[in-house]
Amino acid sequence: MTIFLIRRCLHGLVVLLIVTAFVFSLLHALPGGPARAILGPKANPTEIAAFERANNLNKPLLEQYFLWLGRALHGNLGQSYNQNQSVASLIAQRLPKTLMLTVLALAVSLIVGLPVGMLQAVRRNGATDRVLSVTALAAYSAPIFLTGILGIWLFAVRWRVLPAQAPQGTSALQILADPKALVLPVLCLGLGSMAAFSRYMRSSTSENLVQDYVRLARAKGAGQARILYRHVARNALGPVATQVGLFLPILFAGTVITEAVFNYPGMGLLFWTAAGARDYPTELGVVLVVGVATVVGSLLADIAYGVLDPRIRQFGRES
């Protein structure tokens, strides 16, 4: 397992290098440099030259990348072009907020999605299954901006039972201190993944319910609840666990819209505004953080899969 983890970490590093190099070249391939985007169309050539000098934009592309990489390895992600803050401090301000939102959305979608999926599998092709399938399909298809705005309109504007914006505190404690304000953004962000997890769980549980070990358990007199929770759930969770890690970047992408709709300046919105302003250091900083999150998420999924399924651990030992 240790060798497996080391190997996965090394793979992760390579992935991060490739991703950052790719994004770096993609950013610089865009027509029009950041100088005019930041300084405005009325900037004069002297101002543009000074800006490019100050930000190393006058150097060859490869040199710029290695300069950025060298600084990043020392923990320095550079200075935002237009936000008058270091990228590290911007990320430090925003990351906890987005993490909080993402983790809560993930937790809610798992807590709701997994039992719903199991229920559907147990009542496969029945009325409950059909209703829940249609509901899941609708939830999965609904774009976040639509559910967000509808949620605000109903719960904040029409009935005034929930706030229209997410908590405005900066620390995790401040955010959690306003749980009512978290309801709408967390539900809107988690709705799609909740539906997806329920579908995965339904499918995975259905497959397991017809396996020999279930028939054997039944033959041995095990009750339905015991079969489901002691035997089927554990086996069915394996494939779902791998999806959890992969859903982290999807949820992050969702935060871009969620944060815009619920007035919650986090990482998603930071990336969005940086992209619009050609703020390369900030974009690269966010890409790096998201890249690390994806690699770590994928690693955690592998570990979770191993924990949940003894066959994987056994295979690891044998190999």
Partner 1 sequence: MTGPLSVITGPRARGRRRAGLGACAIVVATVTALAGCSNSGTSSVANGPAVSGGTVTMALPAGAPFNYIFPFESPQYVTGPNVTDLQMLMYRPLYWWDGSPYQLNLAKSLAAKPVFEDNNTTVVLTLKKNWKFSDGEQLSPANIALFLGLLLSERTNFWFYLPGAFPDTLASVSYDNSQDSVTLHLKTSVNPTWFMENQLTMITPFPTAWDLSGPGKKSDCESENPSVQAKDCPAVYKYLTAQAADTASYATNPLWQVVDGPFHLTQFQSGGWSVTLEPNPHYSGSPKPRIAKLVMDVATSDASEYSLLQSGSLTIGYVPFNSAPVKPAGSTAPPSNPVPGYDLQPVTAGWSYNDMFWNYNNPQLGPLLHQLYFRQAMQSLVDQQSDIETALRGYGYADYGPNPPLPANMYETAYEKSAPYSFSLQRARQYLTSNGWKIPASGRATCIRPGTSAGDCGSGIATGEQMPALTLNYATGSEAWTLEVSNLQSAASRVGIDITPVATTSGNLAAYFAPCTASQSECKWQMIYLGTPETDFLTFYPETGIVFREGAVFNVSNYLNPTIQSLFSQVYTQPGNTALDTIDNYLTKTAALLWMPVPDTSLYEVNPKLKGFTPSPILVLEPENWYFVKL
For partner 1, the binding residues (CB under 8 A) are: 30-33, 36-47, 50-51, 81-85, 89-90, 93-94, 145-146, 149-150, 152-153, 156-158, 160, 163-165, 168, 170, 257, 259-265, 269, 272-273, 276-278
**Least separation in angstroms between CB 155 and partner 1:** 9
Q: Report the amino acid identity of residue 23.
A: V
Instruction: Give the CB-side neighbour count of residue 254, counting CA atoms within 13 A.
Output: 27
Residue 165 or 203 with smaller CB distance to partner 1: 165
**Least separation in angstroms between CB 81 and partner 1:** 7
**Least separation in angstroms between CB 42 and partner 1:** 4
Residue 72 or 152 with smaller CB distance to partner 1: 152
Residue 164 or 292 with smaller CB distance to partner 1: 164
**Which structure tokens are listed for 306?**
């191993």
**Which structure tokens are listed for 289?**
């953080």
**Least separation in angstroms between CB 193 and partner 1:** 21
**Least separation in angstroms between CB 161 and partner 1:** 11
Residue 15 or 88 with smaller CB distance to partner 1: 88
| Alpha carbon separation from 3 to 121, 242, 301, 316, 319 (Å, rounded) | 37, 20, 16, 9, 11
Cβ atoms within 10 Å of 265's Cβ, excluding its own: 18
**Least separation in angstroms between CB 167 and partner 1:** 11
Residue 134 or 150 with smaller CB distance to partner 1: 150
Residue 180 or 215 with smaller CB distance to partner 1: 180
The C-alpha atoms of residue 269 and residue 201 are separated, in whole angstroms, by 31
